[in-house]
Amino acid sequence: MSLHLTMIEKRWALNKPFQISREVTTHAETVICEITDGQFTGRGEAAGVSYDDETVVSIIDQVESVANIIEGGITRDNLQDILPPGGARNSIDCALWDLEAKRSGKTVWQMLGWDPRPVTTVYTVGIATPDVMEADASAHSDYPFIKVKVGLGDPLEQIRAVNAGAPNSAIIIDANQAWTVADLQSYAAPLKEMGVEMIEQPLERGNDESLRDFCSPLPLCADESCATSADLESLKGLYTMVNIKLDKTGGLTEGLKLAEQAVEMGFELMVGNMLGSSLAMAPSFVIAQKCRYVDIDGPLLQAEDCAHAMEYESGRVSVFLPDLWG
């Protein structure tokens, strides 16, 4: 049976400008891939990888370049061979998972043989003045975990502010490649004393080997440095955790493979997001079942969400309904 593929551009307004070390974002721009057989429709949402220069336009162009192959019928395994990792493959891969679930009358959990459970997501505090960061943390002090973006300004001052706003929340931080080994040497120990549990992607991607001789007092998590399972071997001995994002892996299929291989190699797992609606978060919720840290708070940072949205309450994320995805 032939398929029909449609790409839909979405622009989700954020509640407020969101700053990390390399950029400020006011909207989440995503694409939704819809694949239908005339009776059932599967959907997948992707934002792409901005630091790899992916945009909504480039994702749509890439999808359209293989649209005839997709519409002729393709398996998820075949998809891995015709598109590289990134937002285009992510949108198609997740749509194919959803379509298979709807065609079979099974949930994604039944397809995988898993028994899902609610998960606890972080709430992310972006870079701002310490008083603004304290107020943001205070407004979300009911969250068990707060993730703090650092890389601009004094991280010790920023964490003091977040601790003041949310004294009972555990803290992880994300430098988004903005630090050097010298920064780690200066900040890691005092951050640990302040209660920080983990540092995500301190160094620029490609400079990871500089960590070889650094004995970190805190666990280090590879984000930008870990896109797919092919990256794992080079990260051994440098990081103890990897952050899986489906826009990086190119979909849930490779995301599951990355998770399995990472655990086999002794890495702990985190799952993250590139913003987007609950439709983008749902496949990541599958990966979240295996993770120590979960960052699927994209819809919380946005002023609106999609239909059949996931339910968030003080960091607790309920199992999504098949009406949303899968």
- What's the CATH number where 236 sits? 3.20.20.120
Give the residue carrying structure tokens 């590139």. 274
Q: How far apart are CA 68 and CA 138, in angstroms?
A: 51
Q: pLDDT under 50 in the chain at which residues?
A: none
Residue 228 tokens read as 């797919």
Give 236's Cβ-side CA count (13 Å radius): 11
Question: Do 310 and 173 fall into the same domain?
Answer: yes
* Residue at a domain's end among 58, 77, 105: 105
Question: Do 99 and 218 fall into the same domain?
Answer: no
Question: What confidence score (pLDDT) does residue 151 get?
Answer: 83
Asked if residue 113 belongs to a domain, the reply is no
Question: Do 142 and 224 fall into the same domain?
Answer: yes
Question: Do 203 and 172 fall into the same domain?
Answer: yes
Question: Do 61 and 189 fall into the same domain?
Answer: no
* Residue at a domain's end among 52, 83, 105: 105
Question: Do 149 and 94 fall into the same domain?
Answer: no
Question: Do 144 and 259 fall into the same domain?
Answer: yes
Q: How far apart are CA 214 and CA 208, in angstroms?
A: 11
Show the DSSP H helices in the chain as ranges: 56-65, 67-71, 76-82, 87-104, 108-112, 130-139, 155-165, 181-193, 232-235, 246-249, 252-264, 278-288
Question: What confidence score (pLDDT) does residue 98 get?
Answer: 98
Q: How far apart are CA 124 and CA 99, in angstroms?
A: 32
Asked if residue 186 belongs to a domain, the reply is yes
Asked if residue 324 belongs to a domain, the reply is no
Question: Do 195 and 297 fall into the same domain?
Answer: yes
Asked if residue 110 belongs to a domain, the reply is no
Question: Do 208 and 302 fall into the same domain?
Answer: yes
Question: What confidence score (pLDDT) does residue 270 get?
Answer: 98
Question: Do 269 and 200 fall into the same domain?
Answer: yes
* Residue at a domain's end among 105, 139, 170: 105
Residue 115 tokens read as 């028994």
Q: Which of 282, 296, 291 is nearest to 326 (CA)?
A: 282
Q: Which residue range is the domain that position 18 belongs to?
A: 4-105
What average pLDDT does the structure give for the chain? 95
Structural domain count, the chain: 2
Asked if residue 60 belongs to a domain, the reply is yes
Taking phi over 0 as left and psi of -120 to 50 as alpha, with beta for the rest, 186 belongs to: alpha
User: Which positions ≥6 away from 7 have C-beta within 8 Å?
Assistant: 31, 32, 33, 34, 60, 63, 64, 91
Asked if residue 101 belongs to a domain, the reply is yes
Q: Are 93 and 282 in contact (CB under 8 A)?
A: no
Three-state SS at 317? strand
Q: Could you tell me whether strands 196-200 and 293-294 are parallel, antiparallel, or unpaired per DSSP bridges?
A: unpaired
Asked if residue 112 belongs to a domain, the reply is no
Asked if residue 277 belongs to a domain, the reply is yes
Question: Do 177 and 305 fall into the same domain?
Answer: yes
Residue 97 tokens read as 């998972």
Q: How far apart are CA 80 and CA 229, in angstroms?
A: 13
pTM of the model: 0.95
Dihedral over alpha carbons 203, 204, 208, 211 (to 10 degrees):
-20
Three-state SS at 6? strand
Question: What confidence score (pLDDT) does residue 1 get?
Answer: 63
- What's the CATH number where 17 sits? 3.30.390.10
Question: What confidence score (pLDDT) does residue 18 get?
Answer: 78
Question: Do 192 and 46 fall into the same domain?
Answer: no
Give 69's Cβ-side CA count (13 Å radius): 16
Residue 68 tokens read as 């005839």
